[in-house]
C-alpha cells in the first residue's frame, strides 16, 4: 500500500498542492504530473504545502527537481510553505531553495503571490 | 566553523543518498522499476534534472537505454550509443568523463549528436570487475553550477554500485535464460520418454488381440486412484508409466501361452507367472525420473494374504502403488473379453472384488475406486475417467443397493436401488 497521497485546489490564478506522507518512491511522480497539469491549465503560480509531508528522500528530491525545472522553463512562480527544518536543509543542500520562495504558511505565500509583499514573511 | 558544519551536512546527505541507492538496487522491484528508481536517486543526489542510464550489449556493441529522467515524450526510446572495444579500453573505469573533454575522441565522433540531444555534461562508464556493463549520461545541474570535486568522488562510488547492480542483472538474465532452456530440454525429454513408453505399451498389448489397450486402461485407472489418494503430480505420473509398462515382461513369453487362457498346464503357469519378474528386470535397468516404477510392476500380482507372486508378500509389505496396480489390473481383466470367457457385467465385478476385499485387494483402495466409479455412473462427475473405458459393461444400468453401500459412496443409504 502506498504511503503517499496528494490533494490540490485552485484559488483564482494560484494553485495549491498538498502532498501527504512519504515522498520516497517513483509512485510520488503524481506530484510532478499534477503540477504539470496545473501549469498546463494556466496556473503560473504554484504553492506546495509541506505540512503533511513526513519523509523525503533523494527520489522525492528528484521529483521536486523536475517540478522546479518545469516552473523555471515556464517562467512560473513556485512557493513552498510549512516546511520542516530537515526538509528545508535537504532542499538547501541540493541547491533547490534558491529557485523557490519559502514561506511559513500558505497565507504568507498567497500574500506574496498576490503582490502584497509587505505582509509576506519568508 | 560554518564551512565545517556545511561539509558535515553534505557528507550526511551523500551517505543518505548511497543508502537510498543501495535500497533501490537490492529491492525486489522488476528491473525497469529498479533502474528508474536508482536513476531518480542519482538525479536527486546531484540536482540534475535530466539523466539517462544505459546497459551495454556486447553482441550489438551498443549502449541501450534502460531508464531516463527529465526527457519528455518517447523521443529517447530508440536511442543507442555505439561502443567499439577500443572505446572501452579508452574509458577510465567508473570515472566521470566531461563530455567537453571527450570532444575529438572516436567515441564522441560516433555519438556526439546523441550526447548533445541528451544535454549530457558528464558521461560515466560503468565497470564491474573490469567488465564494461553500461553507462550513465548526466545532464547539467539545476542552476548550471559545475560539478564539485567531492560530487565527482561520490559519483565514482555511485557508479561502482550501479555497475555491480547491472552486472548482477546481466548474470541473472543469463541464469534465467539457461533455466528456461533446461526446462524446455526437460519437457522435450519428458515427451520423448512418454512417447517411448507408449510405444512399448502398445507393443506389449499387440501380442494379444484380447488385451489391446489393456496397459493403457490400467494406467488410466491407476491415475484416478492415485489422484483420489492425494498423490503428488510426479508420483501420479509415475504410476501412469508403471501402468503402461506393468506387463512388459510378457514380451518374452510365447504368444500361444498368453492367448491360451485358463486351461494352462502347470509349466505354462510357471512360464506366465514369470512376467512380473521379467518386467522388473527390464525396467530396473532404466533410470526413470519417477520413483518406484519397477517395484510397482514387480508386485502387481501380489495379494494381501501372501498368496500372490513372485514374492508372496503380506499386506503390510505392500505399498499403495502396488495395491492400486493389483486392483486395476484385475478389474480390467474382468471387464474385458478374454479367449476363455466374455467380459463380466459390472454388478458381477463389484461382487467379485468385494468378495476378495482384505484377502486379495486392499479395501481402502477398492472403496476409493468404486466410490468414484459409482459417482461417475450417477453423473456426479463432470469429467469421468473410468466409464469411458467401460461401455457395454452395464454402466448405463442401475447397480444394486449393496454395491453403493459397500463402496461408501456419499448418500449411499438414500439410494433406492435394489
Residue intervals of chain B classified under CATH 1.10.3210.10 are 186-414
The residue length of chain B stands at: 418
Q: Residue B174's pLDDT is what?
A: 85
> How confident is the model over A19-54, as pLDDT tens digits?
999 998 888 889 999 998 888 888 889 999 999 999
| Residue in A59, A69, A98 closest to B40 by CB | A59
Is the CB of A31 inside 8 Å of chain B's CB atoms?
no
Q: Residue B132's pLDDT is what?
A: 94
B186-414 under CATH 3.40.50.300, yes or no: no
Q: What ipTM, to 2 d.p.? A: 0.89
Record the pTM.
0.60
Cell numbers linked to B355: 468378495
Contacts of B37 (CB under 8 A, 6+ apart): A25, A26, A59, B24, B27, B29
Q: Residue B105's pLDDT is what?
A: 92
CA neighbours closer than 13 Å in the CB half-sphere of residue B246: 33
* Other Cβ atoms within 10 Å of B70 Cβ, number: 19
Nearest-CA distance A94 → chain B (Å): 6
* Nearest alpha-carbon partner for A115 in A41, A45, A40, A10: A45
Question: What domains appear along chain A, each with residue ranges and CATH number?
Answer: 4-108 (3.30.750.24)
Cell numbers linked to A95: 541547491
- Contact predicate A59/B40, CB 8 Å: yes
Using N-to-C axis directions, what is the helix angle for B233-245 and B214-228, rounded to 10°?
Answer: 160
CATH class of B2-174: alpha beta
Is the CB of A60 inside 8 Å of chain B's CB atoms?
yes
In chain B, which residues have pLDDT < 50?
A: 411-418
Is it the case that residue A99 has pLDDT exceeding 70? yes
Residue intervals of chain B classified under CATH 3.30.450.40 are 2-174
Q: Residue B415's pLDDT is what?
A: 44
Q: In which band, very low, low, confident or very high, does the pLDDT at A1 lie, cut at 50, 70 and 90?
A: very low
Is it the case that residue A2 has pLDDT exceeding 70? no
Q: Residue B201's pLDDT is what?
A: 85
Is the CB of A97 inside 8 Å of chain B's CB atoms?
no
Instruction: Return the residue in A4, A26, A31, A59 with the most chain B beta carbons within 10 A, the one to mutate for interface testing.
Output: A59
A chain contacts of residue B9, beta-carbon cutoff 8 Å:
89, 93
A chain contacts of residue B17, beta-carbon cutoff 8 Å:
58
Q: Residue A3's pLDDT is what?
A: 87
Helix %, strand %, coil % of chain A (to 5): 45, 30, 25
CA neighbours closer than 13 Å in the CB half-sphere of residue B268: 12
Q: What is the average pLDDT value for chain A, to the nearest integer? A: 89
Amino acid at each position: 500500500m502506498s504511503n503517499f497521497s496528494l490533494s490540490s485546489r485552485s484559488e483564482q490564478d494560484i494553485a495549491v498542492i498538498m502532498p501527504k506522507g512519504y515522498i520516497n518512491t517513483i509512485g510520488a511522480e503524481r506530484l510532478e504530473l499534477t503540477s504539470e497539469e496545473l501549469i498546463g491549465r494556466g496556473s503560473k503560480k504554484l504553492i506546495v504545502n509541506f505540512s503533511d509531508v513526513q519523509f523525503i528522500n533523494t527520489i522525492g528530491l528528484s521529483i521536486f527537481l523536475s517540478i522546479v525545472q518545469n516552473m523555471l522553463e515556464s517562467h512560473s512562480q513556485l512557493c513552498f510553505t510549512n516546511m520542516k527544518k530537515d526538509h528545508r536543509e535537504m532542499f538547501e543542500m541540493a541547491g533547490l531553495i534558491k529557485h523557490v520562495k519559502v514561506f511559513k504558511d500558505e497565507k504568507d505565500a498567497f500574500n506574496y503571490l498576490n503582490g502584497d509583499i509587505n505582509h509576506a514573511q519568508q | 566553523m560554518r564551512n565545517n558544519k556545511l561539509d558535515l551536512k553534505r557528507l550526511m546527505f551523500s551517505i543518505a543518498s548511497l543508502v537510498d541507492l543501495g535500497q533501490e538496487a537490492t529491492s525486489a522491484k522488476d528491473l525497469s522499476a529498479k533502474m528508474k528508481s536508482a536513476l531518480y536517486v542519482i538525479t536527486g543526489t546531484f540536482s540534475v534534472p535530466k539523466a539517462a542510464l544505459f546497459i551495454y550489449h556486447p553482441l550489438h556493441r551498443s549502449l541501450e537505454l534502460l531508464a531516463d529522467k527529465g526527457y519528455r515524450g518517447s523521443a529517447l526510446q530508440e536511442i543507442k550509443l555505439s561502443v567499439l572495444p577500443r572505446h572501452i579500453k579508452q574509458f577510465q573505469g567508473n570515472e566521470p568523463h566531461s563530455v567537453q573533454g571527450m570532444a575529438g575522441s572516436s567515441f564522441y565522433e560516433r555519438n556526439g549528436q546523441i550526447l548533445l540531444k541528451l544535454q549530457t555534461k558528464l558521461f560515466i562508464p560503468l565497470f564491474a570487475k573490469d567488465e564494461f556493463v553500461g553507462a550513465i549520461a548526466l545532464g547539467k545541474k539545476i542552476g548550471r553550477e559545475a560539478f564539485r570535486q567531492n560530487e565527482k568522488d561520490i559519483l565514482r562510488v555511485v557508479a561502482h554500485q550501479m555497475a555491480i547492480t547491472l552486472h548482477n542483472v546481466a548474470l541473472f538474465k543469463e541464469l534465467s535464460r539457461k533455466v528456461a532452456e533446461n526446462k524446455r530440454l526437460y519437457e522435450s525429454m519428458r515427451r520423448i520418454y512418454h512417447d517411448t513408453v507408449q510405444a512399448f505399451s502398445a507393443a506389449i498389448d499387440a501380442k494379444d488381440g484380447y488385451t489391446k489397450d489393456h496397459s493403457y486402461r490400467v494406467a488410466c485407472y491407476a491415475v484416478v486412484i492415485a489422484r483420489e489418494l492425494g498423490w503428488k503430480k510426479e508420483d501420479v505420473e509415475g504410476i501412469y508409466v508403471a501402468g503402461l509398462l506393468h506387463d512388459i515382461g510378457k514380451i518374452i513369453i510365447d504368444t500361444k501361452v498368453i492367448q491360451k487362457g485358463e486351461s494352462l498346464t502347470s509349466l505354462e503357469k510357471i512360464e506366465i507367472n514369470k512376467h512380473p519378474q521379467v518386467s522388473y528386470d527390464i525396467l530396473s535397468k532404466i533410470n526413470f525420473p519417477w520413483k518406484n516404477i519397477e517395484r510397482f510392476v514387480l508386485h502387481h500380482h501380489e495379494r494381501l494374504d501372501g498368496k500372490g507372486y513372485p514374492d508372496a508378500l503380506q499386506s503390510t509389505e505392500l505399498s499403495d502403488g502396488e495395491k492400486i496396480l493389483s486392483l486395476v489390473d484385475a478389474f480390467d481383466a474382468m471387464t474385458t473379453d478374454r479367449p476363455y470367457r466374455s467380459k463380466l457385467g459390472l454388478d458381477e465385478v463389484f461382487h467379485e472384488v468385494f468378495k476378495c476385499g482384505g484377502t486379495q485387494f486392499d479395501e481402502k483402495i477398492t472403496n476409493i475406486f468404486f466410490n468414484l466409479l459409482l459417482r461417475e455412473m450417477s453423473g456426479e462427475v463432470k469429467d469421468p475417467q473410468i466409464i469411458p473405458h467401460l461401455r457395454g459393461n452395464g454402466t448405463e444400468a442401475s447397480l444394486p443397493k449393496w454395491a453403493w453401500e459397500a463402496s461408501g459412496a456419499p448418500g449411499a443409504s438414500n439410494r433406492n436401488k435394489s
